[in-house]
Amino acid sequence: MEEIQLEIHGIAQGGDGVGRADGMVIFVTGAIPGEQVRVQITEHRQSYARGSVIEVLRPSPDRIDPITADDGHAAWQHIAYPAQLRLKEQIVREQLAKLAGLSKPPVAPIIAAPQPWGYRNSATLHVEGGKVGYHYSGSRHVSDLTYDPLLLPSLNDALAGLREVLRTFEASVDAVTLRASAAYGYVVGLIHGHDNSSPANLADLGVAWRLRTPVVAGVAVEAQGYVQPTPVYIHDELGGVVFVLSPDSFFQVNASQAEQMLNVIREQLNLQPGNTLLDVYCGAGTFAMPLSVGLRKVVAIEEDPSAVADGIRSAPYNGIINVNFIQAAAERALSRIDEAFDAAILDPPRRGCHPAVLEDLARLSPPTIAYISCHPGILARDLGPLLNVGYRLDLVQPVDLFPQTPHIECVVILRK
C-alpha cells in the first residue's frame, strides 16, 4: 500500500487528523494536529483519501502513551485529556460554521468529565471461538478483552466472572450485554443466544455466572422460544428519579455527565409550575421524568416499546402521574398533536431528527427548545429548519460524555 509523509493541520468530525497532499485532503486515524507523521493510505476517493499512522515523526506535545492496546473503542486515548476537550470544542465550532453557516456560534466551554476513565455503565460484548470482547474496527472479528478501562469497576468484575464460566459451558452465546447501576453498584446481564442455542443451557450459564460473580444480581436470556421466568431489571437514578430499566434499554452511559446535561436543560428551560413540556425521542423518560415536578403535563414520545414500558414502570415508583408516554415514531406522533407547549426537548438518535419532526415542531412553536445531540454535523443540519422559522441559537453546551473517544454530546438551546 502507498505510504506518504504528512503534516497534520486539523481535526475532523469523527476524530481523524487532517492533512493535505498534492491538493487532496487526507484523513488520518491516530494523528493529532501539529504532528508530522508517516501514513499508510487505505482508501482513495476522488476528492479525499484515508489512512492511518504507522510512524510519528514529530509528535504533538499533547500525545501520550495509550493505556490499552485495543484502541478501537478508546480511539483518543493517545491524546492528553485537556487536549481532547479542546479538540472537541473545536470540532463543534467548525461543524456549526461549515454546515449551519454560523460564523460565531455561542459555544460554551465544554464540561469536562470528572472521571476520564472508568465511567461507562453498559457494554455489549461479542463471543467468538472462546473470545469475549468488541469487534475490531471495520471487522466482525472479536478482540479478546480481559479488562476495559472505560467501564465501571463492577462491569470489569462481571466480565472476569463471565470469561471464567464461559470456559466450562458449551453454550452457543452470540453476545452478552452488561449493565451496571451507577447508583447502587450492582450489575445485570443479558445473554444473547444464536438461533440454534439451547435456552436451558444458556439459563444454566446465567446461573453459574451469578454464583461465580457476587456483583451480578440478575441474568436474562434472549433465545428463540425462551420465555424468561422472572423479569430482570436494573435500578438506576438520574435527577432524583429512580428508573427501573430492562437490561437492553437505552440509558445514558455516563451517569455523572448525564446529571450535568440535565442541570443545563433544567436551568435553561426554566420551567414554572403549571407549564407543559414536550419530550421527543424520550427513551425511558430520561429527562421528562426528572423535569416533570410541578408541571401540568409532559408529553413524552418514544418509538421503542421496551423503553416506553420502562418509563411507564418507573413513573409510579416515583409518584409521577403527569407524564403521558406515547409509543410511536416521532414523526407520526407529532403529526397528531395540536396543542401549545411551554418548552420542548429533542434527543434523537445519532442520525438526527426526521424532517417531519422539525416541520411539526415549527408548527407547534414552543418558545424554547433543548436539542441534545451526539453528532455535531447532524446537529448543524437539523438547526437549519428551526433557524429558518424564527428560532435563535442561544447556547451550545458541549458535555464530554465519552472521554477517550471523539464522540461529542451537546445541549443546544433555541428560543423564539
- Report the pLDDT value the prediction gives residue 46, as an integer from 0 to 100: 86
Look at residues 188, 203, 234 and tell me which one is the last residue of a structural domain: 234
Catalytic residue from among 282, 353, 374, 410:
374
pLDDT of residue 58 exceeding 80, the answer is yes
- Report the pLDDT value the prediction gives residue 226, as an integer from 0 to 100: 78
206 domain residue, yes or no = yes
Residue 172: pLDDT band (50, 70, 90) is confident
Tell me: do 143 and 263 sit in the same domain: no
Q: Looking at the whole model, is its pTM more than 0.95?
A: no
Q: Does an H or E element contain 376, and which? A: helix 376-387
pLDDT of residue 191 exceeding 90, the answer is yes
pLDDT of residue 346 exceeding 80, the answer is yes
Lowest-pLDDT range of 33-37, 228-232, 374-378: 228-232
Count: domains in the chain: 3
Count the neighbouring beta carbons within 10 Å of the beta carbon of residue 315: 24
The Cα-based distances of 16 to 2, 13, 53, 75, 95 in angstroms read 18, 7, 10, 9, 14
- Report the pLDDT value the prediction gives residue 196, as an integer from 0 to 100: 79
170-178: average pLDDT: 86
Residue 124: pLDDT band (50, 70, 90) is very high
Provide the Cα torsion 30, 33, 39, 43; round to 10°: 80
Boundaries of domain holding 186: 122-234
Q: Does an H or E element contain 8, and which? A: strand 3-11
pLDDT of residue 170 exceeding 70, the answer is no
Residue 70: pLDDT band (50, 70, 90) is low
75 domain residue, yes or no = no
374 labelled catalytic: yes
Tell me: do 371 and 283 sit in the same domain: yes
Look at residues 42, 63, 84 and tell me which one is the last residue of a structural domain: 63
260-284: average pLDDT: 97
pLDDT of residue 263 exceeding 70, the answer is yes
Cell numbers standing for residue 115: 472521571
